[in-house]
């Protein structure tokens, strides 16, 4: 039994920073830096609370998320579209799965240098008899069709091409996301300012880039400490 959606949510509990908002003059900034899931991460209800007090004409939506529940993602997208503000999405690190759907609420989508954008076919986790599974397959087909339509509206690509990308679980680098039409431009960013997309556990994905899954090599401090010790000895001898 496939439990990818459950495993993704559970593996990323506590790795994000939730939803927070800041308002400056006529612009509100909302950060979605977490798994999208009503139980394990952030939900449409959380976003609704953040939006409730915002009257700004412009909203900057900053995203760093491994994805999650597609229904929550669609609900969050609908809330943003229905707010009335001009939405600009900034992918600070990662917009995968349902998080890429969230970015579709924006009229302009920017992605950080070194950022990633991923689309794939819908997942579910269920138990039941053969009829239940056939019904689930029908529902998943409808979900995929709706998502394809939304991606096509943003990118201008054909449904067939997007469907093939989703089936292949396609990860787009920043430039590839712009070339494919999912993002409008690359935003320069420093290493210090870029969101840590590697903080998330992406083990459930089949084709996650090595740049997001490998951990930085640990630095062996022993040689440096020995060198510092010798330097201290030389200094004491010279004195």
Evaluate the CA torsion angle 70, 182, 202, 81 in order and state its sign. negative
Question: 216 is written with which tokens?
Answer: 């930085």
By mean pLDDT, which of 83-97, 109-123, 127-141 is the weakest? 127-141
Per-residue pLDDT band at 1 (split at 50, 70, 90): very low
Domain range for 17 is 4-238
pLDDT at 45: 94
Rounded Cα distance between 106 and 104, Å, is 5
Task: Average the pLDDT over 48-59 and give the result.
Answer: 92
SS (H, E, C) 17-35: CEEEEEEECCEEEEEEECC
Per-residue pLDDT band at 215 (split at 50, 70, 90): low
pLDDT tens per residue across span 5-20: 777 878 888 887 889 9
Identify the CA nearest to 215 among candidates 226, 228, 201, 229: 201
Rounded Cα distance between 79 and 7, Å, is 27
pLDDT at 147: 87
pLDDT at 221: 57
Residue-wise DSSP of 166-203: HHTTEEEEHHHHHHHTS-SEEE---TTTS--GGGS--T
- Check whether 236 has a pLDDT greater than 60: no
Identify the CA nearest to 102 among candidates 134, 142, 67: 67
- Check whether 100 has a pLDDT greater than 70: yes
CATH classification of the domain holding 98: 3.90.226.10
- Which element (helix H / strand E) includes 137? helix 130-155
pLDDT at 191: 57
- Tally of structural domains, the chain: 1
């Amino acid at each position: 039994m496939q439990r990818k959606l459950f495993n993704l949510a559970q593996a990323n509990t506590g790795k994000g920073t939730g939803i927070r908002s800041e308002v400056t003059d006529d612009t509100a900034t909302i950060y979605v830096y977490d798994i999208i899931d009503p139980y394990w991460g952030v939900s449409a209800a959380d976003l609704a609370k953040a939006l409730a007090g915002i009257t700004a004409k412009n909203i900057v939506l900053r995203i760093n998320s491994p994805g999650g529940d597609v229904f929550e993602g669609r609900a969050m997208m609908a809330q943003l579209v229905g707010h009335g503000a001009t939405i600009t999405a900034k992918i600070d690190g990662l917009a995968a799965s349902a998080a890429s759907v969230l970015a579709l609420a924006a009229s302009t989508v920017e992605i950080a240098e070194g950022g990633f954008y991923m689309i794939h076919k819908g997942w579910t986790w269920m138990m039941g008899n053969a009829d239940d599974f056939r019904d689930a397959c029908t529902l998943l087909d409808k979900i995929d069709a709706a998502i394809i339509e939304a991606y096509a509206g943003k990118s201008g690509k054909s449904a067939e091409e997007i469907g093939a990308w989703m089936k292949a679980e396609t990860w787009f680098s920043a430039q590839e996301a712009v070339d494919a039409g999912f993002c409008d431009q690359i935003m320069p960013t420093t290493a210090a300012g870029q969101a840590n997309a590697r903080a998330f556990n992406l083990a459930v994905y089949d084709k996650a880039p090595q740049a997001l899954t490998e951990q930085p090599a640990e630095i062996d401090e022993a040689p440096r400490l020995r060198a510092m010790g010798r330097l201290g000895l030389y200094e004491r001898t010279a004195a």
